Amino acid sequence: MAKLPKKLELKLEKRRQDNALRVLPQPQSLIDFSSNDYLGLAQKQDLANDVSKLLKENELNPNGSSGSRLLTGNHVMYKELEDFLAKYHNSEAALVFNSGYDANIGFFSSVPQRGDIVFYDELVHASIRDGIKIGNARSYKFTHNDMEKLSKVIERSRNDLDEDAEIYIVTESVFSMDGDTPDLKALAQFCSENNYHLIVDEAHALGVFGEGKGLISQLGLEKEIFARIITFGKALGSHGAAVLCSNALKRYLVNFARSLIYTTALSPHTIASVLVAYSYMMKNGGIQRKKLRFNIDYFKERIRTLEIQDNFINSDSAIHCLILSGNKKVKQLSEQLQEAGFDVKPILSPTVKEGEERLRFCLHSYNTKEEIANLLQIVKTYI
């Protein structure tokens, strides 16, 4: 094989020296405190059986979609899913993408135009940042969940505004690396009063809040949001994503979102899996969310009892993060937990800021009190 270019080898060596080199993990039979399968749907065999039944009912047997959605890949189940999503999430329209990454890349690279400005929370997903970077609009980050700082950043940028400039504000309803939530009501009101366009990524809220519909639904803000991005690979245990938006914006994305136009569509099996997951969640999600909520509350109770709550970022979601500065230190505790049978992953810099390295605990409906208690006892001993 050809030798790796020197510049690339130097970048890898820098990662090694920083104790931040990423490797693909091997599957392990550990107690899950790491995956995004919050409700346990990815593990349910009866859902897989229902997917096969649904495909047979619709006489869809191909292994793949055979092309992009604008060519041959837009099979009948796409319309069924998008019609369902729009109704279920109280949106005019829905447009399905192959992944949350594709949805964010496609949206943010095509919607904000040259002369527009995007203001994004400093902790938004990398896919949002990448989409903004590809696009032609200017962009500024603002301090995490700080409305006052956002207002100041916008005010300082007014001299950069074109006469016909649009302003886009971007946040998440549950942040993936902190597990916390912005004041969405205040943010929606702020955007409404100033005619700004608010975009909210609901990847980690779908299935967990608002009877499964997300935090925007729980707060009754559906009509105040320019666009919502939802993903199916977390609480729904499947794959893919969708942008919830107006009919006009959907038409625009179909014409200009390159990550939708120039990629092979999802297979009928994948779309059927999403429909079945939603059906299961509507029937049984309440039970799973109740179990998840119990585990979230118990986790928070235990860290208070152990007097280690100050080491954690405050969160009411399924994501809880222990700040443990330094890649070496956080990897050591992760390895200790894995040796004890718990799958807890370290989040290293540069994924997070240097000094804010952490262990990320993902809670699920299927975790037990004993597992949570034993896990946190090891943490307490270490820190």
Tell me if the domain spanning 65-266 has CATH number 3.60.10.10.
no
pLDDT of residue 20: 86
Closest CA to 270 of 242, 246, 245: 242
pLDDT value, residue 160? 73
- DSSP states of 320-341: EEEE--SHHHHHHHHHHHHHTT
Between strands 138-142 and 167-172, the pairing is: unpaired
| 181-186 long-range contacts, CB within 8 A, separation 24+ | 181/145, 181/215, 181/316, 181/317, 182/121, 182/145, 183/145, 183/147, 184/215, 184/216, 184/219, 184/221, 185/219, 185/221, 186/147
Percent of the chain with pLDDT over 70: 100
pLDDT tens digits, one per residue of 295-317: 999 999 999 999 999 999 999 99
CA distance 204 to 212: 11
List the domain boundaries for the chain: 30-43+284-382, 65-266
Please write the tens of the pLDDT for every residue from 333-353: 999 999 999 999 999 998 898
- Residue 250 pLDDT greater than 80, yes or no: yes
Predicted local confidence at residue 305, as pLDDT: 97
Cβ(193)–Cβ(177) under 8 Å? no
Return the higher-pLDDT residue of 377 and 1.
377
Instruction: Give me the sign of the Cα torsion angle 84, 85, 88, 93.
Output: negative
| Same fold: 30-43+284-382 with 65-266 | no
Buried-exposed string 249-278: b where 16+ CB fall within 10 A, e elsewhere:
bbeebeeebebbbebebbbbbbbbbbbbbb
pLDDT at residue 58, as a whole number: 84
Residue 62 clears pLDDT 80, i.e. is over it: no
pTM for the whole thing? 0.94
Query: Which tokens in the block code for residue 146?
Result: 């700080």
Give the pLDDT mean for 33-52. 94
Query: What does the pLDDT read at residue 99?
Result: 98
Q: What is the enclosing helix (H) or strand (E) of 141?
A: strand 138-142
Question: What mean pLDDT, rounded, does the chain reach?
Answer: 95
Asked if residues 288 and 113 have their Cβ atoms less than 8 Å apart, the reply is no
Per-residue tokens: 331: 């990897």
pLDDT greater at residue 91 or residue 162: 91
Mean pLDDT value of segment 222-245: 97
CATH of 30-43+284-382 among 3.40.980.10, 3.50.50.60, 3.90.190.20, 3.90.1150.10 = 3.90.1150.10
* Distance separating alpha carbons of residues 287 and 281, to the nearest angstrom: 9
Q: What is the pLDDT of residues 356-366, one digit of tens each?
A: 999 999 999 99
60-89 burial by CB neighbour count: b if 16+ within 10 A, else e?
Answer: beeeebeeebeeebebebbeebbeebbebb
* pLDDT of the residue at 157: 87
Statement: residue 235 has pLDDT above 90: yes
pLDDT at 190 exceeding the cut of 90: yes
Of the pLDDT bands very low, low, confident and very high (cuts 50, 70, 90), residue 226 is: very high
pLDDT of residue 19: 87
Backbone angles phi, psi at 319, to 5 degrees: -105, 125
Nearest to 289, CA basis, from 221, 224, 366, 237: 366
List, in order, residues 6 or more apart from 161 with CB less than 8 Å away: 117, 167
Q: Give the Cβ contact number of residue 288 at 10 Å.
A: 23
